[in-house]
């Protein structure tokens, strides 16, 4: 996701050679905690505490799941020195928890939302089985990435996360203002942002994601033939 000014982005991700200063691949970034805030107001994914998104998801095996994403009033001090907002992501199947994840986000002065890691709790038959998939920027070589750029423009690319062999997702902006999206929550045809997510360790996995200003993520669709899809059913914004 884009940035309001190249200069500002370069100062936040100093040493980054990518377009607009956004991080790529495994490259390390040096971030100044003073440049970050837990008050996240990027229009393509506003995260005010109390906001809640509910999604209906069909995973790649055809299983139906409910996903509830809630912005908590909790904060987490990340190992790299940045204070992050805690976003709780709860996945259930037939009312039973499958996965509960605390995701950690912060916004830089340019307006980019950074993703700083996650703590994952995986369940089976209602019982905790493990915490696989967890990582934290600043620990064991893990690097932060971009969840949403400040000024998304077609062609802009960036890494979303980096923890070698575990989390290496990257994304690119495909279109802005060209797509129309119908989901249970409503119809969106203005300023819709479409991105493509890639997982370098799984080259066949591609996911298109659609966002609306002042709402956030609307829809995600796997394009690799397995049919994974998540649609926004409801959204309530705090305040």
Please name the residue that has the structure tokens 């986000």.
105
Report the distance separating Cα 65 and Cα 95, nearest Å: 9
pLDDT of residue 239: 64
pLDDT of residue 134: 94
Domains belonging to the chain, first-starting first, are 6-236 (2.40.360)
How do strand 229-236 and strand 52-58 relate by DSSP bridges? antiparallel
How many other CB atoms are found less than 10 A from the CB of residue 140?
A: 10
Coil, helix or strand at residue 125: coil
pLDDT of residue 223: 87
Q: Write a three-state SS string for 171-201.
A: EEEEEECCCCEEECCEEECCCCEEEEEECCC
Per-run averaged pLDDT (10 residues), the chain, 239 residues: 34 40 90 97 98 92 92 97 98 96 98 98 96 94 96 95 84 97 98 93 87 98 83 92
pLDDT of residue 130: 97
Report the distance separating Cα 44 and Cα 2, nearest Å: 11
């Amino acid at each position: 996701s884009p940035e309001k000014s190249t200069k500002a982005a370069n100062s936040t991700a100093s040493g980054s050679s990518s377009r607009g200063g956004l991080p790529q691949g495994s490259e390390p970034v040096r971030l100044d905690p003073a440049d970050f805030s837990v008050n996240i107001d990027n229009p393509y994914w506003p995260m005010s505490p109390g906001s809640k998104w509910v999604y209906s998801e069909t995973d790649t095996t055809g299983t139906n799941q409910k996903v509830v994403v809630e912005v908590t009033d909790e904060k987490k001090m990340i190992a790299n020195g940045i204070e992050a907002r805690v976003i709780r992501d709860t996945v259930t199947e037939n009312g039973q928890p499958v996965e509960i994840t605390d995701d950690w986000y912060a916004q830089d002065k340019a307006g980019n939302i950074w993703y700083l890691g996650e703590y994952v709790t995986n369940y089976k038959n209602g019982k905790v089985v493990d915490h696989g998939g967890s990582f934290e920027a600043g620990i064991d070589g893990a690097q932060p990435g971009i969840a949403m750029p400040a000024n998304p423009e077609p062609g802009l690319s960036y890494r979303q996360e980096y923890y070698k062999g575990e989390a290496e997702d990257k994304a690119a902006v495909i279109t802005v203002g060209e797509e129309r999206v119908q989901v249970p929550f409503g119809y969106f045809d203005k300023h819709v942002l479409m991105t493509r997510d890639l997982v370098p360790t799984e080259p066949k996995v591609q996911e298109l994601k659609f966002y609306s200003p002042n709402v956030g993520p609307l829809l995600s669709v796997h394009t690799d033939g397995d049919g994974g899809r998540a649609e926004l059913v409801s959204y309530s914004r705090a305040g």
